[in-house]
Structure 1
Amino acid sequence: MKCPKCKGEMEEGVLVGYADGILSWVNKVVLAKERKQTHTYNCKNCGYLESYAK
């Protein structure tokens, strides 16, 4: 997948929330079966984030 902003390479991962309200992007993690997964892509070049629910 290519970044829509700079055409760099996008890497799939997830956003992880912490109690202090800060979201962090991490490599793809398998979540519980009952949850709807949100897949987030991070551009390795410019840092752009794009998310999709699957």
Structure 2
Amino acid sequence: MRIEVFENGSKSKLIAMLVDDDGNERELVRTDKGRDDLLNQIDDRDLSHLTVRFN
């Protein structure tokens, strides 16, 4: 399982998708406050052990 992060429109709007090993995706979090906020939200969900890839 990993987390993929995509830009939505402008570079400041980010969407993190949780991707299962079989390729299924589901939205995890959204932010328009930048990378630090997104990573803090991921940490708040106790998912910071997963690999996060910014696309």
Compute the TM-score of the two structures, normalised by the length of structure 2: 0.36
State the structure with more CA Rg: 1
Greater helix percent: which structure? 2
Compute the TM-score of the two structures, normalised by the length of structure 1: 0.36
Greater strand percent: which structure? 2
